[in-house]
Amino acid sequence: MAIDLPFELIDRLRVAKRIVAFTGAGISAESGLSTFRDKQTGLWAQYRPEDLATPQAFRRNPRMVWEWYEWRRGFVAKVEPNPGHHALARIEAARPGFFLVTQNVDGLHARAGSRNLVELHGNIRRTICFEHRHLAESWEPVEEPPPRCERCGGLLRPDVVWFGEALPENALRRAQEAAAHCDLFLSIGTSTLVYPAAELPFIAGSNGATVIEINPDFTPLSKLADFVLREKAGVALPAIAATMLE
């Protein structure tokens, strides 16, 4: 289903030189992955965040946290990037000044071919040890999960940013820099609730960038955005890519 973009937006898309795309769980919804806050299917609907995605939760019940992420990794392994992910990869290939910042940990952007990106909240497919963050490529099976780090014997965990943990410094700095210097900022499929990532569209807007929100629902960014496309990412992004690649 193609959509008609507003003429003024088409002009902005055509002249944009430094483009930042900022994505959240909504861009992976059409791949079949639950988002965090959709009530009826959202992951949190079944669990309380403080019971799972925090260092305290892991210390309290490492097996439950490990097994929840194993369950999520199983889902991620079974799904494919969707037209929204592929559209962003096409824009990157055509526009040298394109930069992708994702909050998602599912690795779908890289699988769709995006290269110039930062993963602000880590990647669920990467595993590290809790004590020293040693990268773990493989581990011995264990009776009582989580498995152990082969270098230090510490418990293994997913390399994702939990509530209360710092974001990877270099990734956040690059994202803030890109937001402050871009002329077009696409905010896609995010509830714009979780900081510091959620500040990025506001940094872009306050530095004069054209801000476009792509989200079927209202968010705190909606009233600030220059354009709001109440569309699914898998519908809006192919239309945007087609306009930019004409």
What residues pair up with 20 in beta bridges, in sequence order?
99, 185
Compare residues 194 and 242 and give the one whose CB is closer to ligand APR. Answer: 194
CB of 43 vs ligand APR, minimal distance in Å: 8
Site string for ligand APR, 37-76 (x = CB under 6 A): x---------------------------------------
Indicate which single residue of 31, 103, 114, 187 sits in contact with ligand APR (rule: CB under 6 A).
103
Tell me the residue length of the chain.
246
Compare residues 25 and 108 and give the one whose CB is closer to ligand APR. Answer: 25
Half-sphere exposure of 171 (CA within 13 A, CB side): 20
CB of 218 vs ligand APR, minimal distance in Å: 8
Given 85, 109, 121, 134, the catalytic residue = 121
CB of 168 vs ligand APR, minimal distance in Å: 13
Residue 92 contacts ligand APR per CB under 6 A: no
CB of 62 vs ligand APR, minimal distance in Å: 19
Compare residues 13 and 101 and give the one whose CB is closer to ligand APR. Answer: 101
- Distance from C-alpha of 26 to C-alpha of 45, rounded to nearest angstrom: 16
Residue 85 contacts ligand APR per CB under 6 A: no
- Distance from C-alpha of 212 to C-alpha of 10, rounded to nearest angstrom: 12
Q: Is 121 a catalytic residue?
A: yes
Residue 31 contacts ligand APR per CB under 6 A: no
Site string for ligand APR, 212-241 (x = CB under 6 A): --xxxx-x------------xx--------
Site string for ligand APR, 184-203 (x = CB under 6 A): -----xxx-xx---------
Residue 28 contacts ligand APR per CB under 6 A: no
Contact residues toward ligand APR (CB under 6 A) are 24-26, 29-30, 35-37, 103, 121, 189-191, 193-194, 214-217, 219, 232-233
